[in-house]
A and B are shown apart, each in its own frame.
Chain A
Amino acid sequence: MSDEKLVGVVLVSHSAEVASAVAGLALGLVGGGPVVPVAAAGGTAGGGLGTSAELITAAAASVDRGAGVAVLVDLGSAVLTVKALLAEGDELPDTARLVDAPFVEGAVAAVVTAATGADLDAVEAAAVEAYGYRKV
């Protein structure tokens, strides 16, 4: 596994603060090792609550190192916008994938796994598995 080609992670939330805070949390829990490319795409381009296709495509481009991009989303328009962009086919990297995972737990699992040099399938599996961590 090469440190130079880590899977990138994009975090899409209705809120800019939530997206960037979750990115900071996930990166903070990695510890040492290579720095995973993580980008937050939160809120609208105007700074309000919502979803911006421009911020999402820019974030995905910024973390694409050629090993794939895992996109995690919170809800509603964030889910639908990423799905619509993936259906378009030319606005996100070919290797971008919407990962069906809880936003916070999935982001931590994805980023920590990506830091090991794991491939996109492994990063996705780790994030999806976060649904199974029961709390009660």
Chain B
Amino acid sequence: MLDADFFRRWMTATAASVDREADRLTALDSPIGDADHGSNLRRGFTAVSAALEKESPETPGAVLVLAGRQLISTVGGASGPLYGTLLRRTGKALGDAAEVDEERFAEALRAGVDAVMQLGGAAPGDKTMIDALVPAVDALPEGFGAARAAAEQGAEATTPLQARKGRASYLGERSIGHQDPGATSAALLVAALADTDADAGGE
């Protein structure tokens, strides 16, 4: 079973990972974006960590709703409302249960990913975070490690794609040959989930 502490540690692990990888995310965002993805996400997840420490939400759902709200408030770029919606909608789908099992979490995360697709209008293959998130959610019933591998493969597979959403889409064919920064950060989020589970004695 996954409790509020598990979700808090997931968010903290993501914050550490985003902080570590911020320069790489911004470098990926330089040729096809506006070179702010790493710094924007670092600001957002730093705020998430601070808010979780200050408010100590008591349920898995409350942890993710608070985290999502912080991202919408603090990121300043499109990744804020997108990741914010992902976490908030996932948290709302978890309801106010004190603990959730993996199956329920997988269903909730799918609801979150669906909400992101609705908000941004992106589908798989558009060279966005969706290209990492959808494979991760599809693989999640097989375990957190499988989700992580699927997300990382999905992110790498964005390289030959032509961007169809966001600023990168203005580049047309010139967006081909670059790994998508949003799919890359989405893979970090899923990797942090697998790490959190491994640290907790999971697979």
Bound pair (A, B)? yes
Whether B72 contacts A76 by the Cβ 8 Å rule is no
Which of A46, A52, A84 meets B84, CB within 8 Å? A84
Whether A76 contacts B167 by the Cβ 8 Å rule is yes
Whether A48 contacts B167 by the Cβ 8 Å rule is no
Whether A80 contacts B76 by the Cβ 8 Å rule is no
Whether A88 contacts B88 by the Cβ 8 Å rule is yes
User: Could you tell me the distance between the alpha carbons of A44 and B36 in the complex, rounded to whole angstroms?
Assistant: 13
Whether A54 contacts B73 by the Cβ 8 Å rule is yes
Whether A81 contacts B88 by the Cβ 8 Å rule is no
Q: Is the interface of A mostly helix, strand, loop or mixed?
A: helix
User: Could you tell me the distance between the alpha carbons of A16 and B178 in the complex, rounded to whole angstroms?
Assistant: 31
- Shortest beta-carbon distance, A86 to chain B, in Å? 10
**Which chain B residues lie closer than 8 Å to A83 at the CB level?**
81, 119
Which of B76, B85, B120 has most A Cβ within 10 Å?
B76
User: Could you tell me the distance between the alpha carbons of A130 and B175 in the complex, rounded to whole angstroms?
Assistant: 32
Which of A44, A85, A87 meets B76, CB within 8 Å? A44
Number of residues of chain B lying within 8 A (CB) of chain A: 19
Chain B 121-160 interface 0/1 with A at a Cβ cutoff of 8 Å (1 = within):
0000000000000000000000000000000000000000
Whether B72 contacts A52 by the Cβ 8 Å rule is no
**Which chain A residues lie closer than 8 Å to B40 at the CB level?**
50
User: Could you tell me the distance between the alpha carbons of A77 and B82 in the complex, rounded to whole angstroms?
Assistant: 9
Please name the residue on chain A nearest to B40 by beta carbon. A50
Whether A80 contacts B73 by the Cβ 8 Å rule is no
Which of A44, A80, A88 meets B78, CB within 8 Å? A80
A51: Cβ under 8 A from any B Cβ: yes
In chain A, positions 66-87 with a C-beta closer than 8 Å to chain B are: 76-77, 80-81, 83-85, 87
- How many A-B residue pairs lie within 8 Å, measured between CB atoms? 48
**Which chain B residues lie closer than 8 Å to A80 at the CB level?**
78, 80-82, 119-120
Which of A46, A50, A53 meets B73, CB within 8 Å? A53
Whether B78 contacts A77 by the Cβ 8 Å rule is yes
Whether B76 contacts A48 by the Cβ 8 Å rule is yes
User: Could you tell me the distance between the alpha carbons of A88 and B68 in the complex, rounded to whole angstroms?
Assistant: 11
**Which chain B residues lie closer than 8 Å to A48 at the CB level?**
76
Whether B76 contacts A76 by the Cβ 8 Å rule is no
B77: Cβ under 8 A from any A Cβ: yes
* 26 A-B interface contacts by CB (under 8 A): A44-B76, A50-B77, A51-B76, A51-B80, A52-B76, A53-B73, A76-B78, A76-B166, A77-B76, A77-B78, A77-B80, A77-B81, A80-B82, A80-B119, A80-B120, A81-B80, A81-B81, A83-B81, A84-B80, A84-B85, A84-B119, A85-B72, A87-B85, A88-B69, A88-B72, A88-B88
Contacts A80-B82, A84-B72 given; 20 further ones with Cβ under 8 A? A46-B76, A50-B76, A51-B76, A51-B77, A53-B80, A76-B77, A76-B166, A77-B76, A77-B77, A77-B81, A81-B80, A81-B81, A83-B81, A84-B81, A84-B84, A85-B72, A87-B85, A87-B115, A88-B69, A88-B72
Mark B residues whose CB is within 8 Å of A.
Answer: 36, 40, 69, 72-73, 76-78, 80-82, 84-85, 88, 115, 119-120, 166-167
